[in-house]
Amino acid sequence: MDMLNTILNVLLPPLTIIFLFLFYPFYLSIKLLICLYKHFRFENVAGKVVLISGASSGIGEHLAYEYAKKGAYLALVARRKDRLEIVAEASRQLGSSDVIIIPGDVANVEDCKKFIDETIGHFGKLDHLINNAGVFQTVLFEDFTQIQDANHIMDINFWGSTYITYFAIPHLRKSKGKIIVTTSGSANIPLPLASIYAASKAALLRFFETLRVEITPDIKITIVIPGVIATDMTTPHFIEKYTSDFIMSESVSKCAKAIFRGICRGESYIVEPSWLKWMFLMKNVCPDIVDYLASYLFLRYLKPSFKRD
């Protein structure tokens, strides 16, 4: 076994470089053809049933509006019933003829079962499941009063999506449907002050990549990797600490439109804003540089705002 690993250590690096040199141009050509094909092949979602978690605000709310404009039926899930009612009414006005709201907590497994059961009970099917519910974090890891305080971040961001997905899979198989999950750029790039948040999003990314292999081709999975988006979840944190929103944040409506286009084109990954793809490439090629920049950003601009008394 050790001999085999030694041989692989010696042979794989040059073979990989040769393979990429010969194959990569061909791969890019195929990707271009697929991209052109998807550009003209846009899914018609009129009459399709879409369940959106975290639909009371942010990306989830604006995705509901994008689906509503195209005539989809909506099941809206979140904890805040009053906000869900507002989003539901706006969705009806935009063109969705059938919208239901299902208040509940994605961190509760019984609530997650209820979300699916009530959706199927009302509509009789499920076509798109959008796992979008999440909470943000801006705290130094060592500043948690109790380490157990970090549990709710993982419970909502990771388990909330996996619970709903578990109960939804049998119904999505019947409809040959889609699962869409919102992760984060922090799953690939270090985000200071968000250690547990980044871990929860990285867990989502790897879980749904693996699940994609397990359930293909019956159900398609689209993984959304947004950067900093100006939502009710992130903006208050930046304003509280720095008196203004993050300079590189993108509007939530623009982000939702890009995500919706990607979903309807059948994209496997949606990175928004698209310049983040180049950051991910840099992270893969020069990880030390990206880690250094993240550390510099933290030490120079962020850490002074989080000094202990």
Q: Which residues are catalytic?
A: 197
Residue type, 56: S
Q: Residue 167's closest CA among 214, 211, 210, 109? A: 109
Q: Give Cβ neighbours of residue 94 (< 8 Å, ≥ 6 apart).
A: 65, 68, 69
The DSSP symbol for 273 reads S
3-state DSSP helix/strand/coil % of the chain, to nearest 5: 60, 15, 25
CA distance 32 to 17: 22
Q: Give Cβ neighbours of residue 187 (< 8 Å, ≥ 6 apart).
A: 198, 201, 202, 204, 205, 225
Query: The tokens of 97 are what?
Result: 């003829």
Q: Residue 205's closest CA among 229, 191, 226, 219? A: 226
